[in-house]
């Protein structure tokens, strides 16, 4: 069945929003890796203004009020650029919700997910505010990252039209494995966020061993305390070396497991998939996994340059996009009106 013009425009808008959301996630990683998360210690403005350039005449006053964290124009600009792009994304998501109402008579029009996205984006804004006001608390920052990727996944799901066919019996095991693999991927991304927000990426300077050991000295108990109370400034990290090593090494071990699970998924999809779109999505997953592993290893070998660290986050974005596409094509609809995604 052909899509109506309204639904076509809806999916195009969702595609644009997904692209913008991917940029938001990568720019957010860049802000975090440049230590600009507290470049503006208030929210949603920056020292009460909408642009850091308006603060040039107040630098001495700002530094006198907060000598422990002097004003840094570049960090403030990095943070505000991120907020500007998030604002544009918010307008697009609201537009999607409005389009879903305008096009509500089309039985294929998604009606629930656009409003779920509105709620999710509001929650993301709160997490963004708490990231600043709670001084980069790792749990909040990690949830902020996961919320951004959840927003991306839902937008990408809406942008991709479902196939109108019956799911073949041979594909059902692949779909179940894809759901499980996606859960493993989310857990691994959460570990990556925890590694970054606890400043543990550089805890192991060699690979594949860590400090010359296959099982280095690690403090898992201290490394995975989710909440340490209020008033702690987490910029630069607060953990000792064994705790940071525990976090880093857990992420590394998680990468091995995630890579294995995704490889099994790709092989299963190649063998059992009934459409070229499904096989293509599986191939995209394999390419994204290979790219992400390559970036991860080179991050360690090259001493964690900023561009590679940002690329590692972009690799996570590509993995999410590829996995959502695979799940979308493994979730066909025999009838347009049976399910509204």
In angstroms, the CA 6 to CA 14 distance is: 12
In angstroms, the CA 49 to CA 337 distance is: 48
- Listing DSSP states for 25-57 in one string gives HHHHHHHHHTT-TTSS-SSSSBTTBSSGGGGGG
Please say if 79 is a catalytic residue. Answer: yes
Instruction: Please give the span between the terminal C-alpha atoms of the chain, in angstroms, as a whole number.
Output: 17
Cα dihedral: 273, 279, 284, 286 (round 10): 60
Write the CB contacts of 308 (distance below 8 Å, at least 6 apart in sequence): 295, 298, 299, 302
- Choose, from 61, 79, 235, 335, the residue flagged as catalytic: 79
- Listing DSSP states for 198-258 in one string gives TT-TTS--SSSSBTTBSS----HHHHT-S---SS---TT----HHHHHHHHHHHHHHHHHH
Neighbours of 135 (CB within 10 A): 17
In angstroms, the CA 179 to CA 268 distance is: 13
User: CB of 340 within 8 A of CB of 110?
Assistant: yes
User: CB of 113 within 8 A of CB of 341?
Assistant: yes
Comparing CA positions, the residue from 223, 230, 221, 328 lying closest to residue 284 is: 328
Residue 135, token pair as written in the block:
């001084």
Please list the active-site residues: 79
């Amino acid at each position: 069945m052909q899509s109506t013009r309204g639904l076509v425009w809806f999916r195009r808008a969702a595609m644009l929003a997904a692209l913008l959301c991917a940029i938001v996630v990568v720019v957010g990683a860049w802000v975090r890796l440049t230590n600009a998360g507290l470049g503006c210690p208030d929210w949603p403005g920056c020292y009460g203004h909408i642009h850091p350039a308006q603060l040039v005449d107040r630098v001495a006053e700002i530094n006198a009020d907060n000598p422990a964290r002097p004003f840094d124009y570049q960090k403030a600009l990095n943070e505000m650029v991120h907020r500007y792009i998030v604002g544009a994304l918010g307008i697009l998501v609201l537009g999607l919700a409005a389009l879903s109402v305008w096009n509500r008579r089309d039985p294929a029009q998604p009606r629930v997910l656009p409003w779920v996205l509105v709620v999710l984006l509001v929650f993301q804004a709160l997490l963004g505010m708490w990231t600043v006001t709670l001084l980069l608390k790792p749990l909040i920052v990690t949830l902020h990252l996961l919320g951004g990727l959840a927003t991306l996944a839902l937008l990408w799901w809406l942008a991709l039209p479902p196939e109108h066919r019956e799911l073949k019996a041979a594909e059902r095991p692949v779909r179940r494995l894809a759901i499980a693999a996606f859960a493993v991927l989310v857990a691994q991304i959460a570990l990556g966020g925890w590694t970054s927000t606890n400043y543990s990426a550089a805890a192991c300077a060699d690979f594949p061993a860590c400090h010359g050991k296959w099982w280095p000295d690690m403090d898992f108990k201290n490394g995975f305390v989710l909440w340490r109370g209020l008033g702690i400034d987490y910029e630069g990290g607060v953990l000792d070396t064994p705790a940071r090593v525990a976090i880093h090494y857990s992420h590394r071990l998680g990468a091995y497991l995630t890579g294995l699970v995704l490889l099994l998924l790709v092989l299963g999809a190649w063998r059992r998939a009934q459409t070229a779109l499904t096989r293509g999505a599986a191939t995209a997953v394999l390419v994204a996994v290979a790219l992400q592993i390559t970036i991860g290893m080179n991050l360690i070998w090259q001493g964690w340059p900023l561009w590679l660290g940002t690329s590692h986050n972009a690799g996570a974005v590509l993995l999410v996009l590829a996995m959502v596409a695979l799940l979308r094509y493994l979730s066909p609809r025999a009838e347009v009106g049976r399910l509204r995604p």
